[in-house]
Structure 1
Amino acid sequence: MTEQDQPADKPGKSPENPYPVRSVSMMVKDWIDRLGTVWVEGQIAQMTVRPNSSTAWITLRDPSADMSLQITCPRDLVHNAPVKLAEGTRVVMHGRPSFFVGRGSFSLRVNQIRAVGIGELLARIDRLRRLLDAEGLFDPRLKRPIPFLPGTIGLITGRASHAESDVVSVATARWPAVRFAIRNPVVQGPNTVPQVVQALRELDADPEVDVIVVARGGGSFEDLLPFSDETLCREIGRCTTPVVTAIGHEPDNPLCDLVADVRAATPTDAAKRIVPDAAAEQAMVDDCRRRSAQALRNWVRREHHHLTQLRSRPVLARPLAAIDARADEVHRARAAARRDVTRMISAESDRIGHMSARLTTLGPAATLARGYAVVQAVASDGTTTVLRTVADAPAGSRLRIRVSDGAVGAVSEGEDEAH
């Protein structure tokens, strides 16, 4: 049933029939009284104890959220508390929620106050450590690398603290051009976690910030307790900018150190880790240049020695020696070839001379020179045939008689009977 569906004559359901203030206050008080007693834990953010009043007013703050609760208790309960109550003290209180109808205010009326012991705090921190470890917030593979030379360093530390002075002075001395974006939240007490978380979010959203440093000097276990808070640890894990923590001194190890990308022992150590030393880098550059020049000279010297060795080899020292040696062989081969050719020509010339003499001796010219003649019968068509028998030259046949110095014509008279 909606408010419009309520009967018009029912009190508080229409502007014509509203509740009076006293009725609403009494109903709220009645609802709150039904809650009964509760135990609550938090940090004391403010405490007021007036000398002329029997009541003490305390503001109890949640260390992990920006929330607080008003507490009232007898003055003697504050004085007789198991520990000295002050701002930042972590306590557990037992009381009943109460609504004061006269002022319309809510508070928790406390009848017991107990201090949270260090042993219990250590046990809680250990349970939180195991939880965060199981979720992977401590995984080394998720650690972001620190830039070699950050342009702007986001620094979260107490105002005018030694930690701020150490980080700024050491970083500036090592690299004078470094810039800082400084946030100064409170680093002790109930407001530490929300203010540090807010500073982290601001610096992480700044695109010019390359690395964030959370620094605080040494202190007691209770002073450093906010840096083991779950909200702060998870906020560091969500940052996209690398985070360096330098909380306390070397033995101190809050949980945010395990979540951070780099854990520094002290604020001075944090400055040394994130900013290179200009003098050391210059010395390294000079050393690299010297070593590079020496390596280059050694390489040139080695290559020069290698070339000298190559030039000293016979094939390069006297490159024509092999050709000269082959030239002698060529000359000898040419002389031998010429000698052989001459000898062969001489032998063939002698053979040809002998054959020519034999041809001359055996040829018809030599026979004709000795007084012989060659008789040929001349046919009517002018062809000639050698006369071999008498029958080849009957009477009246034309004859051609060849002698050594020419030929004469004749006519056959027939066979010579006298012969």
Structure 2
Amino acid sequence: MLPTPTQSDVISVSTLNRMARDLLEAGLPAVWIGGEISNLTVAASGHAYFSLKDSSAQVRCVMFRQRLAASGVRLAEGMQVELKGTVTLYEARGDYQINVATLRSAGLGRLFEAFERLKARLAAEGLFDEAKKRAIPTHPRAIGVVTSPAAAALRDVISTLKRRAPAIPVILYPTPVQGDGAAQKIADAIRAAGRRAEVDVLIVCRGGGSIEDLWAFNEEAVARALAACPIPVVSGVGHETDFTICDFVADLRAPTPTGAAERVSPSREQMLSQVELARRRLERALGRLMTDKTQQLDYLARRLVHPGQKLARQRERLAATRQRLTLLAEARLSGARRGLSAAETRLARCRPRPAETARELDRLGHALRRALVERLARQRLALAQHEATLVALNPEAVLSRGYAIVEKADGSAVKSPGQLAQGERVTLRLAEGSTHARVDHSSGAQGELPF
């Protein structure tokens, strides 16, 4: 009899599935698996759900949108693929599944490797540099298309250009886009477009397909021709998930050929809308201008005076000016006459009288001579008085009476005995010469000069 399990021995389904998932993820490394896709579903989120099967078994797989886009593979029902992923378990349903990280078409591993090697080499050479990308003209005069004349992509491009810009001519540079030698022919068509220089922008395009179908656009010859092309190039090869070397070298990548046609052509509807908008703006601007000019014209019309009225006012101003000039001339003439009369009066008073002038000159001459004689006499008297004073004050006259002048060594005259020191040498100036003496204070009374 089996023992009855306790409450602690029972686990939930969620716990069981989580334990199984942990065991699967920890016990099995990421592996490469090959098989056929079936039950493919691509959700609105972009995630892909499918089964990978062989002749005797199948396993559920999930590939999330970012990894699917990065792989560059367009999944299809029945497609043989090789994928690398992690074995896990979807807990909500208990489904064992593969979480796909990388996927490629079966047998195309060497093509992918060649693609990656060429991509890395061309990138190292700078063929993918964004700085080398040229701007696509917004209003090209002509558009060139490099593709096959039988390709559905050409019909998509032509219909799109006819709808968006029917006035722009389209020039086809025909070339095969698939098969042996297609890459060299595509490169030749690109170089021919560059030499002819008859278009402003070039579309290189073809429809979607497998990596083998698109391989011509992964060849180095096409990449070199694109890099050397003097015309801006838009690549529209395959579908949105398809990436080729051509996309990286071109000046612009479009997701589809139709998208490439839309990128190089201005929208007719949009231009008509812009023209209509500009027309309305111009109409409003002209309306405002007409309104302003009309108001300005009315204002000027109110200021406009009839020529007859203007002439009448000018005649009135001319008559008033003439009257003022007449009055001013008369006033100036009257003033001039008064000035002339006054000048005649002053001139009559200043008229010369020779006889009276001669008598006046004689009188003034006699008076001048008398004044000079009197002044000369007064000057002589004053000079005599000054001379007597100078003679009286002359020190030489005093010395002639027996006096002497005592001088110190510096030549200053001695006025008091107190200015002299014991034994000091002095000079005695006499009327007829000078002599030296020495001061002796030990003899002589106060007020005397002891020698």
TM-score by length of 1: 0.43
TM-score by length of 2: 0.41
> Which protein has greater RCO, CA pairs closer than 8 Å, 6+ apart?
1
